[in-house]
Amino acid sequence: MKRPTKLIATLLAASIVSVTSVAFAQDSQPQSWSEVKCARYKKAWSEALTRRGTQGLGPEFLADHEAFLASGCMAQANVCPKSAEELELANIMVILAMNAGTASTFLPFSCRK
């Protein structure tokens, strides 16, 4: 390889490394505690559904819970477990959330009626 070609290749490689480093630095920005709790909770929810399935979970329960997740776990608690399966999953989520270090007041489960 000729000198100018080596120089261009070196500069190109350095710029790629630089851009990649900046991208990774932006991805590793510290998250707020609310974001960390929500990420942990979403992961636990996904794993719980994978293990137990959705049998016995009503569309309203699932939709209300999805709205909670879509809000970044910031929406008012509005997920009311009505069936035995929904209550079982809500209880599982309370335990998983507490094990993940989130407070019980973080959870979306509440029956207001």
Q: What are the sequence ranges of the domains in the chain? A: 1-30, 33-106
3-state secondary structure of 82: coil
pLDDT at 48: 96
Q: In which region does residue 110 sit, left (phi positive, over 0), alpha (psi from -120 to 50) or beta (all else)? A: beta
Mean pLDDT of the chain: 82
C-alpha angle 100/56/85, rounded to 5°?
45
pLDDT at 40: 93
Q: Averaged over 47-73, what is the pLDDT?
A: 96
pLDDT at 16: 56
